[in-house]
Structure 1
Amino acid sequence: MKKNQSFLIMNKASKFSFIFLLLSYSAMFAQKSINSYKYIIVPIQYEFQKSEDQYQINSLTKFLFNKAGFTAVLSNETYPEELLKNNCLALKAVVNNNSSLFTTKATIDLIDCYNNKVFSTNERKTKEKEYRKAYHAVIRETFEDIEALGYAYNGSESVIIPEVEKREIISKTVEPAKAENKLTEAPKKILGEDRIEEVTVPLVEKPVVVPEIVKPMSKSAFVKAIEGTYNFGKWGNSKITLKGEHYSVVSGEENFEFATLYKTSKPNFYIIKWNAFKQPQLVEMDSEGSLKVDSENGVAIYKRIN
């Protein structure tokens, strides 16, 4: 009896050890794979949404990926030049809505350019009744799994570019083939008075000009200066000006400094420290020059005036 009990205990311990090793291996593999990708593409509308960026799900997802260290773009934005040439540098972020009648449930899948699932988060759920708050709550919770990966792009060459996508159309002139490679017609016979001679007449290839396809300049190539006037909601129209190593945010109506902005390693991302709050927040400056700030109620957008 004691031997059987010991065997069962050892058997259970072995199973738990195997499961732990399997989960550890899976996490290490996912981290290694995800670190090979430089971009995240967030669709502007998912199947369960009735309109683009409904409930700000898509812009929040993009914001949280950037906050986690990725470089995320919405599918309707202008892509960086290298991403236009090789879409295998990116993973597509798919938010899956698994909600029931009274519960909002969601997971996030990361899909590569071959439609393979590279990573999936655990399902998160809430019984919050208001749709916007419910979706934001479960999406924020799913990012606990994504942040746990400790993403850091390593510039790996393991992301294979499809052969078709390697071909670039550039303006060039095709030179005539060299003498030894010239195409020839069939031998022609030239009749003389007393002999017949066969000669080979070379075909001369004409230069072929391939027209250049001009690609539009990416908006991301231009980084707007953050200094200017913005509509900061309850603070009204406020000015951002450079003050030493940081930026000062001053209310135009009451003329007092209510926040400070600090630079980060990315030119369009800043850290804002409100005088009224202790917790700093991440700020993204979009292609139009407006500021997007992550808050408890979602992403707050402060539009640029000039």
Structure 2
Amino acid sequence: MKLKYIAILITCLLSTSIFSQANLNNYKYVIVPTKYDFLKEADQYQLNSLTEFLFEKYGFEALMEGANYPDDLVKNRCLALKSNLVKDSGMFKTKLTVELKNCNDEVVYTSEMGESREKEFQRAYTEAARNAFKSIEALNYKYEPSANASVAVSQEVETKSEVSKEIETLRQEIENLKKEKEVVVEKVSPKVEAVAQTPKLKVAAKEVIDTTALTAKESPSGILYAQAIENGFQLVDSTPKVVYRIKKTSIPDMYLVEGKNATIYKKDSNWVLEYYDNDVLKQEVLNIKF
């Protein structure tokens, strides 16, 4: 019966060891702190430097806390484990264990306790740390990328690519609108004999103010109220009814009108709606309250 219990115990210990190894193999980096809580100074007794060295010795890619992290770690912090040395109280022994936490601050591994009977601190901490790392050595660690980490990075790169495309499209639209505004529009009066003496006027597009449709587009009070929405505002009248939805651009006080080839921008103290009607550039003054 005792042999049976011993066999079960050995099986459980082996399973735990195999699980720990497989679990740790999914992490690419180990971050070593610059100072341990039980010491007064950073890298006192060169214990932090020793920890970094021992992780490297047993196959890990160790990084000192605060160093320049690799690009893949910057994009996905869950590729790294955070290491720590935990000191256990002892009257005649120095006792240390190696503790590893994931990006959610969960302990995923604790080593066997390393001990030292040395009285001099430098030797005691060094010996205890090396003995604790015998458990790390026994893991035979080898990095094996997990599928979830690869998918997360791939999705992040894809999302950034889509955002870049949207930004580039918006910039192109703004450039096109700038070019259209620079075109000189010729406003021709009807050919009627009674006004034959009135000369034709050529004016810059931005100086033409067309107020014929102003009343129809504004509320009875003549005021449109700006309500914040994602990436811009919706302009409602006093009904309330949504008259326009406008999107922010990289140019201050300039918005793109959703669903229309038009812009709304601030000129002096007025808000101006600018658009083309049968190849004629028109502008309308809007009374907007933000």
TM-score bin, normalised by smaller chain: 0.5 to 0.7
What does 1:267-278 align with in structure 2 at a 5 Å threshold?
Answer: none
Unaligned runs of 5+ residues in structure 1 are: 1-10, 190-198, 210-306
- Residue 84 of structure 1 aligns with which residue? 74
Q: By how many angstroms is 1:102 displaced?
A: 2.2
Unaligned runs of 5+ residues in structure 2 are: 174-231, 252-290
Which of 167, 170, 178 is the matching residue for 1:173? 167
Could you list the per-position Cα deviations for residues 224-269 of structure 1 after superposition, in whole angstroms to 9, with x for gaps in the alignment? xxxxxxxxxxxxxxxxxxxxxxxxxxxxxxxxxxxxxxxxxxxxxx
Instruction: Sort the Cα spacing of 1:60 and 1:25 in 2 relative to 1 into closer, same or farther, 3 A.
Output: same
What does 1:1-306 align with in structure 2 at a 5 Å threshold?
Answer: 11-159=1-149, 173=167, 185=235, 201-208=243-250
Cα root mean square deviation, aligned = 3.5
- Residue 195 of structure 2 aligns with which residue? none
The one-letter amino acid of 2:247's match is: E
Could you list the per-position Cα deviations for residues 153-206 of structure 1 after superposition, in whole angstroms to 9, with x for gaps in the alignment? 01113459999xx68798773856x9xxx98655899xxxxxxxxx98443423
Instruction: Sort the Cα spacing of 1:83 and 1:160 in 2 relative to 1 into closer, same or farther, 3 A.
Output: same
Query: What SS does structure 1 have at the residue aligned with 2:91?
Result: coil
The one-letter amino acid of 1:22's match is: C
The 8 Å contact of residues 54 and 133 in structure 2, kept in 1 or not, is answered as yes
Q: By how many angstroms is 1:99 displaced?
A: 3.7
Query: What SS does structure 2 have at the residue aligned with 1:173?
Result: helix
Q: By how many angstroms is 1:129 displaced?
A: 0.9
The 8 Å contact of residues 114 and 130 in structure 2, kept in 1 or not, is answered as no
Could you list the per-position Cα deviations for residues 37-79 of structure 1 after superposition, in whole angstroms to 9, with x for gaps in the alignment? 0000010001101000000000000011011111001113222
Query: What SS does structure 1 have at the residue aligned with 2:52?
Result: helix
The 8 Å contact of residues 111 and 132 in structure 2, kept in 1 or not, is answered as yes
Instruction: Sort the Cα spacing of 1:132 and 1:184 in 2 relative to 1 into closer, same or farther, 3 A.
Output: closer
Query: What SS does structure 1 have at the residue aligned with 2:31?
Result: strand
The 8 Å contact of residues 115 and 132 in structure 2, kept in 1 or not, is answered as no
Relative to its length, the structure with more helix (as a share) is 2
The worse-fitting range, judged by mean Cα deviation, of 74-83 and 17-26 is 74-83
Instruction: Sort the Cα spacing of 1:203 and 1:159 in 2 relative to 1 into closer, same or farther, 3 A.
Output: closer
Instruction: Sort the Cα spacing of 1:113 and 1:162 in 2 relative to 1 into closer, same or farther, 3 A.
Output: farther
Taking structure 1 as the reference length, the TM-score comes to 0.53
The 8 Å contact of residues 174 and 207 in structure 1, kept in 2 or not, is answered as no
The one-letter amino acid of 1:96's match is: V
Q: By how many angstroms is 1:150 displaced?
A: 0.8
Which structure has the greater CA radius of gyration? 2
CA distance in 1, matches of 2:50, 2:139: 19
The 8 Å contact of residues 88 and 161 in structure 1, kept in 2 or not, is answered as no
Query: What SS does structure 2 have at the residue aligned with 1:145?
Result: helix
The one-letter amino acid of 2:167's match is: T
The one-letter amino acid of 2:3's match is: A
Query: What SS does structure 2 have at the residue aligned with 1:108?
Result: strand
Taking structure 2 as the reference length, the TM-score comes to 0.56
Q: By how many angstroms is 1:147 displaced?
A: 1.0
The one-letter amino acid of 1:109's match is: E
CA distance in 1, matches of 2:247, 2:152: 31
Instruction: Sort the Cα spacing of 1:112 and 1:185 in 2 relative to 1 into closer, same or farther, 3 A.
Output: same
Query: What SS does structure 2 have at the residue aligned with 1:69?
Result: coil
How many matched pairs?
185
The one-letter amino acid of 2:85's match is: V
